[in-house]
């Protein structure tokens, strides 16, 4: 999208339980891709990559606290102008 001129700014919005280390590493030198990861502080990987914004949650975070933290960060990110947002979450069934 960036290389073809279809986007200037992209947000990768990762709410997986573990830190979005892959995306953070891939795009760490790309200022046109903003990586956001909200994850458990005690989960894999032990050594976290640096996202543009990492929000580490303590173990046993309850729903209301999780949603309050998420809403706060969404509101802050809403001030940015992103052409595309990629939402990442994984489920194990």
Look up the pTM and report it.
0.85
Q: Residues near 42 by Cβ (< 8 Å), separated by ≥ 6? A: 59
Q: What is the mean pLDDT of the chain?
A: 89
Block residue for tokens 């069934």:
93
The whole-number average pLDDT for the span 8-29 is: 90
**pLDDT greater at residue 10 or residue 80:** 10
Question: What would the pLDDT profile of 47-75 be if each residue is shown by its tens digit?
Answer: 778 999 999 999 999 999 999 999 999 99
Alpha carbon distance 34, 12 (integer Å): 6
Confidence of residue 32 (pLDDT cuts 50, 70, 90): very high
pLDDT at 44 over 90: no
Distance from chain centroid for Cα 93: 22
């Amino acid at each position: 999208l960036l290389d073809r001129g279809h986007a200037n700014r992209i947000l990768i919005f990762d709410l997986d339980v573990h830190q979005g280390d892959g995306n953070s590493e891939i795009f760490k030198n790309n200022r046109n891709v903003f990586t956001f990861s909200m994850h458990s502080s005690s989960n894999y990987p032990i050594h976290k990559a640096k996202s543009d914004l990492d929000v580490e949650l303590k173990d046993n975070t309850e729903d209301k606290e999780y949603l309050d933290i998420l809403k706060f960060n969404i509101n802050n990110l809403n001030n940015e102008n992103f052409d595309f947002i990629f939402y990442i979450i994984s489920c194990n069934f």
